[in-house]
Amino acid sequence: QKEVEQNSGPLSVPEGAIASLNCTYSDRGSQSFFWYRQYSGKSPELIMSIYSNGDKEDGRFTAQLNKASQYVSLLIRDSQPSDSATYLCASQRPMNRDDKIIFGKGTRLHILP
């Protein structure tokens, strides 16, 4: 069973600090990884995708991928109350008609004002 594991949280982080969200995946064939943000009652919104080992930065967000350890993380710098949401990690194999994205259950992040 291919799985993506995340700590459900809640993860509480003071405003202005760095929030660190972690994710592990079981399928070694996965090559594409995604972070989605989901506010309560809303749909998931894609915020980062990463395909190569190392770091990828986009504004206050940095995604980190370590394929050897099957580990993906998302760092949020200068956390804001508006970052409070559930963050979904997802993995996917190389493009194939029969390969689908596998989602984790998500980590609830709470930024403390």
Partner 1 sequence: ETGVTQTPRHLVMGMTNKKSLKCEQHLGHNAMYWYKQSAKKPLELMFVYSLEERVENNSVPSRFSPECPNSSHLFLHLHTLQPEDSALYLCASSQAQGAAYEQYFGPGTRLTVT
Chain residues in the site for partner 1 (CB under 8 A): 4, 32, 34, 36, 41-46, 49, 51, 88, 92, 94-95, 97-101, 103-106
Closest distance to partner 1 from the beta carbon of 33 (Å) = 10
Q: Which of 16, 1, 11 is nearest to 110 (CA)?
A: 11
Pick the closer one to partner 1 by CB: 40 or 69: 40
Distance CA 15, CA 78 (A): 7
Pick the closer one to partner 1 by CB: 79 or 88: 88
At 60, phi and psi to the nearest 5?
-85, -5
Pick the closer one to partner 1 by CB: 30 or 79: 30
Distance CA 65, CA 51 (A): 8
